Amino acid sequence: MVKDRNSFIFRLSLTLFVILAINFFLPRMMPGDPFSTTSADEAGEEIIVMTEEQRLYYINYYGLDRPLHEQFLVYIKNLMTGDLGRSIYYKMPVSDVIMLHLPWTMLIVVGATVISTISGVVLGTLSAMNRKKGSDKIMMTGMIAFAEIPSFLLGLILLLIFSVHLRLFPLAGAITPFANYTGPAEQAWDILYHAFLPVVTLSLAQLTDVYLLTRNTLITVTTKDYIRTARAKGLGEKTVWTRHALRNALLPVVTRTGFMIGIMMGGVVLVESVFSYPGIGMTLRSAVVGRDYPLIQGILLVIAVSILICNLLVDKIYGKLDPRVVI
Amino acid sequence: MEKKKLLVLFSVFLTALILMTAGCIGQDSAKAGTLAEETLAENTADGSLNADVVYLIGGDYGYPQPFTIYPRGPGSSKVGMIFDSLVERDEIGIIPWLAESWEVSPDGTEYTFKLREGIVWSDGAPFTAGDVKFTFDYEQKNVPVSGGIESGVVDNVQVVDSGTVKFVLSQPVSTFLYKLTGFKIIPEHIYENVPDPVSFLDPQAVTGTGPFLLDEYNKEHGTYRFVTNDNFWGPDTAVKSVEFVPVSDSLIAFEQGEIDFTGISPDILDRFTSDPDVRVVQQPAFWGYQFYFNMKKCPELNDKRIRQAFAYAIDRDELVEKIARGAGKAGKMGILSEDHIWYNPDQPEYGYNPDKAGALLDEAGWIDTDGDGIRDKDGEKLSYVLSLGSGEVRIGELIKERLSEAGIDVQVKALESKSRDANLKNGDFELLISGFGGWGKDADYLRTRYCDTDSQSGMSVSSGAAVFGYHNDTLDALGARELQESDDGKRMEIVYNMQTVLADDVPAIPLYYTTNYDAWRISKYDGWMNMYDHHARTHSILSYLERDGIAEKR
């Protein structure tokens, strides 16, 4: 047992080290540096073109002129003390930048994960229970066609319908600008009100996968012997579906939900940009565009760690759902 | 059975999507044609000349002090709302600001500024000549993001008395006063205790002498609120407070009244031109795309006839019409745009003329000997890779088409923006397109971009002539004279000559300058103005002030 634990910790540290090294070296291998911008991205955009003198000053200021291995050692050493470094673009500690933006992304990602998983499972179960009937076919075709719509397009459509035409939801942002809240309830309401469309967009984009997975696994499971046994025992249809079929079918769904965080990080960038939502996805994008090495490292590290944690959680839940699994 | 149904359904969906997008494109290009000829009817109604609040497009551009704004986006104009410079820019030229008047020594190396009396910082401390000297000395050690004065220009700054300050230059620099318009004075009594201004994000950091105070800044949501500084020495603010709020789509936000000023695309102009409450005005042509030749890497491009052939073969009016939808002006080979105060209207012109391009290439000895449509000489083909950013692919494709008609083969290579910039800086390209602003700035940029002399000052452009291998003795000589000439009239003459030389030599091709449309609600606020050298109205501090007294005095 102790040996197992040691090897687990060893594997985990090795994984982390590899992640750290990739996070550190990959951004630095991209062409350009944080200070040599000479072109704007779109017509009319303002950029400040630095003089060569300014550029060298800043490269020296951020220690980017030191040998790469030396910078890496400094990075690892600082990391040990919990220091993620300073963002070059935002001119503030990387941990502060992440703390400002990560909660917003967490809010919509977690919200979307919960909503899409629950509704995906419910719809998938309904579909499986009505297999071979018309309602299943209609639902399935609709869901598959729906899955073909890219999330940003979906977001735009929702924005046009609900914010522009119906004016039910705000056009942009995560809170009302310069709002003076009378209490925490009002603040929470304002945040939920702004998060609604982004969450719905992300959920809808994930829904089909969960739905299909639930439906297909359920259909496979219901052909198994133990379901026949359960039915033979005279258990009610409801008990058979929920306690026997669904419980077994949920295993792959749980795995999938655990991975969803990683998958969603891709989609969340687009959704955040459609709704001008101040999340970490947009920040990562601007960090890559601006070659903000410390910030890229910091955000990728946080994402990698959260995916690792999710995987651990999945393993734990797996153990609960399926007693045969031991970790 | 099920699969088949799905397939049918999916193809129906796909066809519908294709038809939808095809419809959009057809409509757009049909509209663009008519727009180019249509002149904008001017809205003659009178608007409101003051407002309690004006809402503008937000976004996070950094904490508005000189060392913490971001290098992308309009951060420096936000610094300008809080901090003042010695001199400012209005629609026509440079005007007195913190400095009431100044004298220049006959040899052009000493500038003595008389400061306005009674100016205080927003915390009540008096503003003195010491602050000016302090700012200069401080920024020698701590380089600001924008508005710093390059080393080598100023030798030292002396405090003559509390209301007089003297700048001693190492050599005459004709653009010195212009450089000062961006040189924002920071308070000595606050910054003297700040060893690292890059991490100085305290409320104290935004203590200025300017018309506004920073009331609220929210980095994560990209909001700023500026309110009137009651201690401001100058004219009253016409806009009592300015709020920058986040928008997802500026047009929708404008239509719903969330913002009072926006840029609009030429395709939807008619939605606003009929609205009596909206004023639509084109920006001056101070943002543009430049086409670079790398004469170091491709020695045959040193033959100016080939470069001239490019200028004849590329149809720049077509680019304006098809890419900019008419909202632009075709590039001039004298580099400066028609809207520049020192534009020389009398320079060699290069209208679209494939025949002339062909004749020039023939003359240079590039002839299509093997009939593959590409000209060649001594077994080498006239074939290039054109590097550009992903946003400029359509420009590249049009150029490729026109050049191929002249027998020049071009492969378009789209790069991510920073990679393209890195290639430009390292001279690692054959042909390249890059877009940037600042074409309305002091014409001294003709020297910094196209003279390859190692002058002591103004070595500012890392993408200049030395990188792409351009050299012209006449231009270098003119540039050296221009830099030293303190008389504006004479300097303008030199700049005119530089444009003639450049237009004949074509070291690079400005493709087109954009003239985007600005739209604002005149019932909300109608006091917007342009600085003579800049395209964005919202960036001028005078746009927010009463135009009487100091701001009117020249």
Predicted confidence (pLDDT) per residue in B265-317, tens digit: 888 888 888 889 999 999 999 999 999 999 999 999 999 999 999 999 999 99
- Distance separating alpha carbons of residues A269 and A72, to the nearest angstrom: 28
CA-based nearest residue to B450, from B377, B502, B392: B502
Reported as half-sphere exposure (CB side, CA atoms, 13 A), residue B291 has a value of: 27
- Domain containing A209 — which CATH number? 1.10.3720.10
Mean pLDDT value across chain A: 86
Residue B51, pLDDT score: 94
Interhelix angle for B354-363 vs B304-313, to 10°?
160
Instruction: Assess if residue A44 is contained within a domain.
Output: yes
- Distance separating alpha carbons of residues B438 and B433, to the nearest angstrom: 16
Nearest Cα of chain A lies from the Cα of B191 at a distance, in angstroms, of: 17
DSSP B41: P
Co-location of A65 and A101 in the same domain? no
Co-location of A67 and A102 in the same domain? no
Share above pLDDT 90 across residues of chain B, in percent, rounded to a whole number: 74
Instruction: Assess if residue A142 is contained within a domain.
Output: yes
Q: Which of A20, A47, A80 is the endpoint of a domain?
A: A80
Strands annotated E in B424-500: 431-437
- Distance separating alpha carbons of residues B353 and B356, to the nearest angstrom: 6
CB A217 within 8 A of CB A209: no
- Cα R_g (chain B), whole angstroms: 26
CB contact under 8 A, B249 and A32: no
The boundaries of the domain holding residue A193 are 95-321
B155 vs A270: which has the higher pLDDT: B155
Q: Which residues, in sequence order, are CB contacts of B54 under 8 Å at separation 6+?
A: B239, B241, B242, B243, B260, B261, B524, B525, B544
Residue A63 region by backbone torsions, left for phi larger than 0, else alpha for psi between -120 and 50, else beta: left
Instruction: Assess if residue A7 is contained within a domain.
Output: no
Co-location of A45 and A160 in the same domain? no
Residue B36 has pLDDT above 50, yes or no: no
- Distance separating alpha carbons of residues B529 and B28, to the nearest angstrom: 31
Instruction: Assess if residue A75 is contained within a domain.
Output: yes
Co-location of A269 and A233 in the same domain? yes
Question: How sure is the predictor about B4, in pLDDT bands with cuts at 50, 70 and 90?
Answer: very low
Report how many domains make up chain A: 2
- Distance separating alpha carbons of residues B305 and B250, to the nearest angstrom: 45
DSSP A305: H
Co-location of A302 and A248 in the same domain? yes
Sign of CA pseudo-dihedral B338, B340, B341, B344:
negative
B381-420 residues touching A, CB cutoff 8 A: 389, 391, 417-420
SS3 (DSSP) at A48: coil
Co-location of A310 and A231 in the same domain? yes
Co-location of A49 and A195 in the same domain? no
Co-location of A140 and A62 in the same domain? no
When CB atoms are compared, the residue of A47, A167, A171 closest to B253 is A171
Question: How distant, in Å, are the alpha carbons of A136, B288, B365, B370, B509 from that of B381?
Answer: 63, 30, 12, 10, 22
Instruction: Assess if residue A17 is contained within a domain.
Output: yes
CB contact under 8 A, B436 and A173: no
Residue B12, pLDDT score: 47
Q: Where do we find the tokens 């379901």?
A: A227
CA-based nearest residue to B138, from B72, B106, B184: B184
Question: How distant, in Å, are the alpha carbons of A21, B81, B137, B180, B212 from that of B121?
Answer: 48, 13, 19, 19, 11
Mean pLDDT value across chain B: 88
Question: How sure is the predictor about B455, in pLDDT bands with cuts at 50, 70 and 90?
Answer: very low
Residue B355 corresponds to which amino acid?
D
- For A275, name the nearest residue in chain B, comparing CA atoms only: B248
Kindly provide the ipTM of the predicted complex, given to two decimals.
Answer: 0.79
Number of inter-chain CB pairs under 8 A, A vs B: 187
Instruction: Assess if residue A89 is contained within a domain.
Output: no
Residue B337 corresponds to which amino acid?
S
B457 vs B133: which has the higher pLDDT: B133
- Distance separating alpha carbons of residues B231 and B209, to the nearest angstrom: 8
Instruction: Assess if residue A172 is contained within a domain.
Output: yes
Which of chain B's residues have a Cβ under 8 Å away from the Cβ of A272?
Answer: none
- Distance separating alpha carbons of residues B333 and A175, to the nearest angstrom: 49
Residue B18 corresponds to which amino acid?
I
Instruction: Assess if residue A327 is contained within a domain.
Output: no
CB B152 within 8 A of CB B176: no
Q: Which of A80, A113, A135 is the endpoint of a domain?
A: A80
- Distance separating alpha carbons of residues B301 and B214, to the nearest angstrom: 52
- Distance separating alpha carbons of residues B475 and B57, to the nearest angstrom: 42
Give, for all 327 residues of chain A, the pLDDT tens digit.
556 778 888 888 898 899 999 999 999 998 888 888 888 888 778 888 888 888 888 899 999 999 999 999 999 999 999 899 999 989 889 999 999 999 999 899 989 989 999 999 999 988 888 888 888 888 888 888 888 888 888 888 998 899 888 888 888 888 888 778 888 888 899 999 999 999 999 998 888 888 999 999 988 888 888 888 888 888 888 888 888 888 888 888 888 887 777 777 777 888 888 888 888 988 898 899 889 999 999 999 988 888 888 888 888 887 777 777 655
Co-location of A146 and A198 in the same domain? yes
Co-location of A60 and A137 in the same domain? no
Q: What is the separation, in whole angstroms, between the first and last Cα of chain B?
A: 82
- Distance separating alpha carbons of residues A94 and A84, to the nearest angstrom: 6
Which residues on adjacent β-strands are paired with residue B72? A47
Residue B126 corresponds to which amino acid?
P
Co-location of A164 and A302 in the same domain? yes
Nearest Cα of chain B lies from the Cα of A130 at a distance, in angstroms, of: 16
Please, is A295 exposed, middle or buried when counting C-beta atoms within 10 Å of its C-beta (0-12, 13-18, 19+)? buried
B93-122 residues touching A, CB cutoff 8 A: none
Q: Which of A55, A80, A105 is the endpoint of a domain?
A: A80
Co-location of A40 and A107 in the same domain? no
- Distance separating alpha carbons of residues B412 and A105, to the nearest angstrom: 37
Sign of CA pseudo-dihedral A161, A152, A285, A80:
positive
CB contact under 8 A, B72 and A159: no
